[in-house]
Structures are given as structure tokens and as C-alpha cells.
Structure 1
């Protein structure tokens, strides 16, 4: 049962370093994108965040309105796409692009909050963006490394060495790990659905 974890966490340190560095580059790029926005775009963002915080402050957690399954399915779609891309050789660049884009999204969100509200924005990001992503991001990166490893294994065995067969065991290991990460994402989705909004409502009065 623990074999998928052993396969993903052992002898793949270079892949983990590479994928993590790619994600961090995305975070930095997303944060820098905030500085590239025009004054009009920054003003539009400021109005959007202002309305969001006012509505959240007045409506409490009900303003967010996302159900558990909406949150969970969003995470599972991202995970499933990584898994699918890992099944084909041509999907290898797509996995790396997804990891980079995930970093861009987080970096841009945090950068916008900090840019608009300085330390108050950082405080809001720490309760709204950081908690669940401390679990979501490692789960996605572990799956990405497994997907890259599986894809590279196919390239070595099928394309470079011309071998056929013998892929069932790596496939089961790869799929088993992906399913394990899906369970982790389902669990953290409950935190994101019911705990994160409460934490956001605590901090919102300081920002609005």
C-alpha cells in the first residue's frame, strides 16, 4: 500500500528540486506581473477588492458561497489533468506548464493583496491563500513528479530502448499515488470550505 509513496519519494530528488523551482519561478513571475499592471488596471483591482471586502464584512462567510464539492472538484480537475498528461510523452511539457501556472496564480493573488493593502493584504493572504495551499501544493507537486517520472520512463523504455510491455507495474504505482493525493485533496477541501471562510471573516474587518 505504501509502495506508491516509496516510488515517488525515493531517488527522485532532482525532479522534486526542478518541479519545485519551476513552481517558485511561477510565484515570482505572478508577483512581478502586479507591477506590470497599468494604473487603470490597478484601480479596477482596488475597486474589486474593496467591494469584495465590504460584501464579505457585511455578509460573513455566506458571501463566499462555494460548496464543498465545488472546491474539491476544482482541485481534482487539476490533479486529474496532471495524471492524464503523465500518461503520454507529449504531455510532459504540459505538466511543467501547469506547475508554473499554479505558481503564477498564487503569486499574482498574493501580490495584488500586498500591493493594494500592504501588511493587511499579507495578513489576509496568510489566512485565505496559505493554509490550504500548504497541503494542496505539495500534493500537486508530488503528483507532478510522479507524472514526469512515469512519462520519462515511457520515453526510455519505448522510444530510446525500443522495449515493449512491463508498464503495468509503474502505471499502477503512478495511479495509486495519484489516488492517494486525491484523498488528501478531498480532505483539505473540507478545511478550505468550512474553516478558511471563518478565518477570512476574522481578518476582513482589519482590511475593509
Structure 2
């Protein structure tokens, strides 16, 4: 059976960068763990303040007082594209290579802190809310960020070899074009995550918040 060119290219890419993917995934998971640990270092008053804003937000969700889906889609997409584009630019600059690692770590910190805070304050209800509000779009966003991070790091290392090693290398232009194509494909993929965040997650959150409130009322 003939293999599709895209699948073949993806398989080659994964095989050639397997160690880099392992490193980046471990770095991201370390960020998640660190973010969860940071929750425990917050003072009682800080937790109370955050919990107050959280309950206000979920109150707005239950009353359907959120921004329009179109605005949420636009804001989500612009935020994620800017984050990815920053990694892309840092890969070109070469000297920004360490910052790419920092950005991947920080993304893990944000996810770990958000989930950790919800669970620490609301127990199983917080886990359920984080599952419907954070996971759906991040199932798409996180893999795309990891892939873009690996591609940016790989491109930056290739530029270093071109600049400082005396061995003959192929032309740089095809590398730049492939790098630009990776950014374009990632930007298209982010449309999916933004659509989920704008049109799917709010509905899931609304139903979950109502369900949790009903359970609490029954228990009381």
C-alpha cells in the first residue's frame, strides 16, 4: 500500500526529532507540575481573592453573560497565534533559542496552575470544570505548540550549524520556506482550537456549572 506523502513526511520528522520531542514534552510537563505546586504556595487571602473572581466568572457563565462567540474566537485566535509567532521569530533569530524553552515551560505552568487551583478549591467539581473548560481547546493547542517549539528549536540549531560550522551545507532558502510553511499550517490548526474555545467550551461550562449547582442544592 502506498503511503501518503504527508504521513511519510510526518513519520520522518518524528523519527529525526524524537529526542527533541521527548525533551520538550518533559519540559512542558515540568511546567505543569511547577504550576500545580505554585498553587500550594499561595497565601490564604490570595486563594480567597482568586476564588472570589472564579465564582464570579462561573456565575456569569451560568447566566450566559459571556462575550459573544465571535469575540471569543477572535481573542483566542490572536492570543495563540501571537504566542506561536513569537516562538517562530525566536527560532529565526537564533539567539532567542533559550526563550523558546521558557515559553513552553510557561505554557505548562499556566495549565498546571489553573487545573491545580480549581481542584484545590473545588475538589472533584473543580476537576470536572477544568476538564470541560480547559481541556477541549488545549487538546489541539498544546500539541501544536509542542510541534512548533520543536520545529523552531530545530530550525535555530540548523541556522547555527550554517553560520558557524565550516562544512558545506545545502541552501538556506528551502529551510526557510519549510519553516514558514510550518508556521502557516500551525496557524490553520489554531483555527480549530479557537473554534472549540469559542463555540464548544462555553456550552460545556454552562451545562457543567448548572449540574454542579443542582448537585450542591440536593446535598444541602
Alignment TM-score, normalising by the size of structure 2? 0.87
Instruction: Determine if the alignment matches structure 1 residue 63 to structure 2 residue 66.
Output: yes
Structure 1 range deviating more: 32-41 or 158-167 = 158-167
Q: After superposition, where does 1:102-141 map in structure 2 within 5 Å? A: 102-141=107-146
Instruction: Determine if the alignment matches structure 1 residue 167 to structure 2 residue 181.
Output: no
8 Å CA contact retained: 1:4, 1:176:
no
How far apart are the structure 2 equivalents of 1:64 and 1:105?
22
User: How many residues are treated as equivalent by the alignment?
Assistant: 206
Which of 94, 99, 123 is 1:94 aligned to? Answer: 99
C-alpha spacing 1:7/1:147, structure 2 compared with 1 (3 Å):
farther
Which of 204, 208, 214 is 1:203 aligned to? Answer: 208
- Residue 217 of structure 2 corresponds to none
Q: Which has the higher contact order (CA 8 A, sep 6+)?
A: 1
Q: After superposition, where does 1:1-40 map in structure 2 within 5 Å? A: 2=6, 5=10, 8-40=13-45
Pairwise CA distance, 1:55: 2.2
Instruction: Point out where structure 1 has 5 or more consecutive residues left out of the alignment.
Output: none
C-alpha spacing 1:172/1:164, structure 2 compared with 1 (3 Å):
same
8 Å CA contact retained: 1:4, 1:174:
no
- Residue 218 of structure 2 corresponds to none
Larger of the two Rg values belongs to structure = 2
Alignment TM-score, normalising by the size of structure 1? 0.92
**RMSD (Å) for aligned C-alpha atoms:** 1.9
How far apart are the structure 1 equivalents of 2:186 and 2:136?
17
Instruction: Point out where structure 2 has 5 or more consecutive residues left out of the alignment.
Output: 214-220
How far apart are the structure 1 equivalents of 2:25 and 2:180?
21
1:1-25 CA distance string (max 9 Å, x none) = 8487466433100000001110000
How far apart are the structure 2 equivalents of 1:163 and 1:108?
47
Pairwise CA distance, 1:130: 0.5
